[in-house]
Structure 1
Amino acid sequence: MSKSYDKSNPRLTELIRLLKKTSSENEVQIWRDIAVRLEKSSKNYAEVNVSKINRYAKEGETLLVPGKVLGSGLLDCRVTVAALNFSEAAEDKIAGKQGECLSIEQLLAQNPKGSHVRILR
């Protein structure tokens, strides 16, 4: 049994609740998976550089990072990235390629079924 962590960030606790609710309502496992990852200690959150997004993403793809996107590296294609947080450099590089930076809440509202979303950690 994994250890439960009490979150002091109200945005994060509300996001976890919303992810679980949406997962249950739409019978979609991807949102429950993200909620479980975000319930763990923040030291285990993903930190993904733009260079990793560039390596694994295809043109026009939607990626979900359960953590922070950092600005190291270059981006060659247009992608939509949803994450808990973005560095300024990462936002600039993604926007520079006509990509889109979304919060996880925004992606959840746009795509409650979680279709065509890939998790990158």
Structure 2
Amino acid sequence: MLKGIPGLGALGDMAGMMKKAQEMQTKMAEMQEQLANTVVLGESGAGLVKARVTAKGEVTGLDIDPSILVASEKEVVEDLIVAAIRDAQSRGAQRMADEMRKMTDALGLPADMKLPF
């Protein structure tokens, strides 16, 4: 139970909870900004295609080894691009989950609590 302001009983507890909620909201906003600026790298084809994605899933760049840019291999290249983007997005989602876990731990919340994010 959160300790509130002495002498106010349940109102003190409510004030303490409101303060915690405001702290959590501030930390979530900071984390969202940090994740929007955190870039992860995904790859496919043993590194022939690399995708850069923010931890929030926005694709920011793509590197394709020129050796695979052959007209007859168009479908393979397309598949490698999609695979690299999916890999990067998966890594970004994992980074986001890790950061959420750290935040809930720091706030003393249950590890399986789903926050609106």
- TM band (smaller chain): under 0.3
User: Which structure dedicates a bigger proportion of its chain to helix?
Assistant: 2
TM-score (norm 1): 0.23
Larger Rg: 2
